[in-house]
A and B are shown apart, each in its own frame.
Chain A
Amino acid sequence: MTAVTQPAYGSVGSPLTQLISDGWIATRRNLIKIKRVPEILVFTILQPIMFVLLFSQVYAGAMNVPDYVNFLMAGIFAQTVIFGSTFSGAAMAQDLKDGIIDRFRTLPMSPAAVLIGRTNGDLVINSISMLIMMGTGWLVGWRVTTSFWGFLGGVAILLLFSYSFSWVMALLGMSVRSPEVINNASFMILFPLTFISNAFVPIHTMPEVLKNIAEWNPVSALVESARMLFGNTNPEFPEPTAWTLQNPIITVIVGIVVMLTIFVPLSVKKFKSISSR
């Protein structure tokens, strides 16, 4: 009988270095997944190209909006990154179903690491999509008219918003526990939400009821922020009446802070108590 030898553990370091290290390991897992799952690549690369081309080439002629390509791009950016954030929900639900969450939870790792890895995965997907869309947009005539910092600000606000939203989706995924339900629900809710906004058409062209919804819709604030930062706003459009749309950047930043401060701790707390059947 040989004695059980327990390998020495590498020095773990402070909780912060451990969190960063564990978070990176969990992120790497999702990066490998992006590379190997064709559906993700289609969503990340092909769909954004298709959307930019469809709206800018097929619909543009029928839209009674001057310089539609420049109006459109912020809307497509926002819609794509919001949908990109739903991966976290479906993936957490799938991991629970597969039982791999149980494996993680029996390891001496930081409880936030799996969630950090998951939301980072969405961030990478969304960053790639943004690059692809910006390239395609540029080819069909999209131009940033502010400054380099305005451009960076616009990209940052879109990615930060989607990153925070990934945490909301992650909590939903752990609560609902069904990847199918998450996918269907996000489609049913997010699709109308992104369309009843200023993403693809100017709000003042909508009927009264929809106009009110669209003005207060947080997606509109996000789109408007990006438009302002990229210098794609149209001064001829009537002033919005909703405060959130009059002050879109503040609204979005408050939204980001609120989502992170509420959903990061809630998600980590939820993670500490979940287990597959």
Chain B
Amino acid sequence: MTIIQAEGLKKTYKSKSGPVHALAGLNLSVPQGTVKALLGPNGAGKTTAVKVLTTLIKPDEGSAHIDGIDVVRNPKAARRIIGASGQYAAVDENLTGFENLEMVGRLYHLGAKTARKRAQELIEQFELTEAGNRPVKGFSGGMRRRIDLAGALVINPKILFLDEPTTGLDPRSRLALWEIITKLVNDGTTLLLTTQYLEEADHLSDDIAVIDGGKVIAEGTSDELKAQIGGHRVVVTLVDEADAGAARDILARHGDGTPLVNDRTVEVSVVEGPRALQYVLSDLGQANIRLHDAGMRRPTLDDVFLTLTGHKAEDEKTRKIDAELENAQ
């Protein structure tokens, strides 16, 4: 059953340098109990999409339903079944962790007793005891993020939205948060997650929608997306950079596209990995080219992104769009 459904979402912001199309006809559908990652660079429209679905902004065009509720026409009903956590830890610094969670519970209308009980449960579950009774001010970013995430879970929401949950966190906090999220989705919560980290999408989600320019440009499991851009890649690392030209010619002969040369590393996408690798190695041997390393690898989501959008997940152009969006809002 589809629990999140968005059709033809459009949203345009005005900015000094003309209109910015944050959403340009975005379609999305998420089956109940699954995790969908919206993957894209800054300014791709991920956050705007989540904001529409969590009733924070109204789209200019298009429709969005969660669990059959029209989020534009009936935002209040939608708010009763969602939990949302944004890019910035939305906690009150002057309240303790417990007070923050209790307040959220009360505003979900859980009732005083239930709200307190639930806040206490979450404090324990998220290992927040330290921050439970002291004002949030002064705690690390990771701790705030955990409190914020706990806030999104106060009602055990049917649908959870996490907008870049680990942006700005150190690797350790990121892993800890991944663990929490993994546990959650094992419990059957439907999760829509945005991220600009390919690794994160790969790790957490069942299904990935790649977003660029306010539209979904590719969709599928991480394996399906990788398959879309070809099979294996053969990668060789040379001892001597001077051999790069010769090595490139050899890889071009056995590969299925133009080889990529990066210092002493040469790589090419191939149709049949093991066989291509054999040929490449044999030819390199005959040409007396010495190797540090050679092998095949499956394409990463980085390769997917580069192939699909023509730019990396993070580059000058997207940063500019991002800055414009910031000014426009």
Contact A22 B118 (CB under 8 A): no
| Contact among B88, B92, B187, B188 for A276, CB-based, below 8 A | B88
Beyond A2-B187, A25-B107, A100-B91, whether A105 also contacts B56 by CB under 8 A is yes
In the assembled complex, which residues on chain B have CB atoms less than 8 Å from the CB atom of A29? 92, 95, 99, 103
Interface residues of B (CB under 8 A from A): 51, 54-58, 76, 79-84, 86-95, 99, 103-104, 106-111, 114, 118, 135, 148, 151, 155-158, 186-189, 325-326, 329
In the assembled complex, which residues on chain B have CB atoms less than 8 Å from the CB atom of A32? 94-95, 99
* A124 beta carbon closer than 8 Å to chain B: no
- Please measure, in the bound complex, the distance between the C-alpha atom of A209 and the C-alpha atom of B326, giving whole angstroms: 44
Using A6-B156, A32-B94, A275-B57 as known contacts, list a sample of 19 further A-B pairs with CB atoms less than 8 Å apart, ordered by residue number in A: A2-B187, A4-B188, A6-B155, A7-B114, A9-B109, A10-B110, A12-B109, A18-B109, A21-B109, A26-B107, A37-B94, A99-B89, A101-B90, A103-B84, A106-B83, A108-B76, A113-B107, A273-B57, A276-B86
Beta-carbon contacts under 8 Å, A105-147 to B: 105-109, 113
In the assembled complex, which residues on chain A have CB atoms less than 8 Å from the CB atom of B82? 106
In the assembled complex, which residues on chain B have CB atoms less than 8 Å from the CB atom of A36? 94, 135
Q: Size range of the interface on A?
A: 35 or more
* A270 beta carbon closer than 8 Å to chain B: no
Q: Which residue of B lies closest to A111 (CB)?
A: B76
* A189 beta carbon closer than 8 Å to chain B: no
Interface residues of A (CB under 8 A from B): 1-7, 9-10, 12, 18, 21-22, 25-26, 28-29, 32-33, 36-37, 98-109, 113, 273, 275-277
Contact B108 A9 (CB under 8 A): yes
Contact A7 B110 (CB under 8 A): yes
The interface residues of chain B, by DSSP majority, are classed as loop
Contact A4 B90 (CB under 8 A): no
Contact A25 B94 (CB under 8 A): no
Minimum CB–CB distance for A106 against chain B, Å: 4
In the assembled complex, which residues on chain B have CB atoms less than 8 Å from the CB atom of A108? 76, 79-80, 107-109
Minimum CB–CB distance for B58 against chain A, Å: 8
Most B C-beta atoms less than 10 A away, residue of A21, A37, A275: A275
Q: Which residue of A lies closest to B83 (CB)?
A: A106
In the assembled complex, which residues on chain A have CB atoms less than 8 Å from the CB atom of B188? 1-4
Beyond A9-B110, A32-B99, A107-B79, whether A1 also contacts B186 by CB under 8 A is yes
Minimum CB–CB distance for B249 against chain A, Å: 50
- Please measure, in the bound complex, the distance between the C-alpha atom of A2 and the C-alpha atom of B56, giving whole angstroms: 31
Contact A106 B94 (CB under 8 A): no
In the assembled complex, which residues on chain A have CB atoms less than 8 Å from the CB atom of B87? 99
In the assembled complex, which residues on chain B have CB atoms less than 8 Å from the CB atom of A28? 103
Minimum CB–CB distance for B168 against chain A, Å: 13
- Please measure, in the bound complex, the distance between the C-alpha atom of A182 and the C-alpha atom of B155, giving whole angstroms: 36
Q: Which residue of B lies closest to A100 (CB)?
A: B90
- Please measure, in the bound complex, the distance between the C-alpha atom of A261 and the C-alpha atom of B189, giving whole angstroms: 44
Minimum CB–CB distance for B81 against chain A, Å: 8
In the assembled complex, which residues on chain A have CB atoms less than 8 Å from the CB atom of B111? 9-10
Most A C-beta atoms less than 10 A away, residue of B54, B57, B106, B186: B106
In the assembled complex, which residues on chain B have CB atoms less than 8 Å from the CB atom of A6? 81, 155-158
In the assembled complex, which residues on chain A have CB atoms less than 8 Å from the CB atom of B95? 29, 32-33
In the assembled complex, which residues on chain B have CB atoms less than 8 Å from the CB atom of A275? 51, 56-57, 329
Contact A107 B108 (CB under 8 A): yes
In the assembled complex, which residues on chain A have CB atoms less than 8 Å from the CB atom of B103? 25, 28-29
In the assembled complex, which residues on chain A have CB atoms less than 8 Å from the CB atom of B83? 106
In the assembled complex, which residues on chain A have CB atoms less than 8 Å from the CB atom of B110? 7, 9-10
29 interchain pairs, CB-CB under 8 A: A2-B187, A4-B158, A5-B156, A6-B157, A7-B118, A9-B80, A9-B110, A10-B109, A18-B109, A22-B107, A28-B103, A29-B103, A32-B99, A98-B88, A98-B93, A99-B90, A100-B91, A101-B90, A102-B56, A102-B84, A103-B91, A103-B151, A104-B107, A106-B55, A107-B104, A108-B79, A108-B109, A109-B107, A277-B326
